Amino acid sequence: MSSKKQIVQCVPNFSEGRDLAVVEKIADAFRNTPDVKLLDYSSDEDHNRCVITALGEAKAMKEAVIKAVGTAFELIDMTKHEGQHPRMGAADVVPFVPIKDITMEETVALAESVAEEIAEKFGQPIFLYEKAAKTPGRENLAKVRKGQYEAMAEKIKEPEWKPDFGPTEMPPQTGVTAVGARMPLVAYNINLDSSDPEVADKIAKKVRHISGGLRYCKGMGVELKDRGIVQVSMNMTDYSKTALYRVFELVKIEAQRYGVNVVGSEIVGAVPMEALVDSAAYYLRLEDFTMDQVLETSLME
């Protein structure tokens, strides 16, 4: 291991977006841990989910994550959970991202260590996914989570879906958790002036890679009932290879066939500066522009 301070990002997703007191208590685990900085946390009532983004020293991040997961297990009851977003556990997914002076291999080792401790401390079934996956079939989170909470109790009893850590009996209150390591992900949603969920579903199908769309794009349609509109909700798993402007333009094109317009888009959680600068350079038609020209880049060196 490197002697330098190893910095990782963690973006855990918890299955609570309506009780803000619970969200705050989960966030406190990151807010109150030395050498960890809580960068952002957001909750959504329709998804009934909160996303936390934290940055910190690897060992301190492990401590904060285990505190947060324990709080979630204590305060969230999956037997009563309903929401638009796919989910399988109170602490649904816990991805670690290498940021500075830490390799992907070391980040995978960190993810494994956290997964093992969560399983032992709380009796929680844990899947390893993305770069931490032990088998190819578990790299894709969508495959791991297929069936969601409702089907997970039976799924983890199947030999091919035996958890990487923890029991094969699912605790009803906490469900199942996925822990992994990955490249920086951009959670990017595009809102449409339609109230028809089928339209969003059809557009998402055209955009996401698994059904013939853009590489490094995962997507689904979501209904935002409180706003009377629908959304194409996406995870961009490698923004450097599939840019945000590209998926924005493709959603616009596909929406036109239904007489639907884009009314806005949103980034959930933190986003690498390069992902936004890349899209700005495209729309402004900047020639030969590089990140070195961004003032903040030199300030951070």
| CATH number given to 7-181 | 3.30.990.10
The answer to whether the CB of 88 falls within 8 A of the CB of 153 is no
- Strand 91-100 with 177-181, pairing: parallel
Task: Choose, from 47, 81, 85, 209, the residue flagged as catalytic.
Answer: 85
- Give the C-alpha separation, 194 to 270, whole Å: 27
pLDDT per position as a tens digit, 140-162? 998 999 999 999 999 999 999 99
Q: What crossing angle do the helices spanning 58-75 and 104-122 adopt, rounded to 10°?
A: 30
pLDDT at 94 over 70: yes
pLDDT, mean of residues 44-67: 94
- Taking the domains of the chain in order of start, what are their residue ranges? 7-181, 186-300
Q: What number does CATH give the domain 186-300?
A: 3.30.70.670
pLDDT digits (tens, 9 = 90+) for 180-218: 999 888 999 999 999 999 999 999 999 999 999 999 999
User: Which token pair is 221?
Assistant: 């349609």
Q: What is the pLDDT of residue 3?
A: 60
Q: Give the whole-angstrom CA distance, residue 210 versus residue 226.
A: 29
pLDDT for the residue 289:
93
Q: What percent of the chain has pLDDT over 70?
A: 98
State pLDDT tens for residues 123-132: 999 999 999 9
Task: Give the whole-angstrom CA distance, residue 275 versus residue 298.
Answer: 17
In this structure, is the dihedral angle defined by the CA atoms of residues 269, 203, 44 and 149, taken in order, positive or negative? negative
CB atoms within 10 A of CB 16: 23
81 is catalytic: no
pLDDT value for 249:
98
- What sign for the dihedral angle of Cα 166, 141, 230, 201? negative
pLDDT of residue 2: 45
The secondary element (H helix, E strand) that includes residue 253 is helix 244-256
Mean pLDDT of 233-245: 93
- Tell me which residue of 26, 41, 181, 162 sits closest to 91, measured CA to CA: 26
pLDDT at residue 184, as a whole number: 85
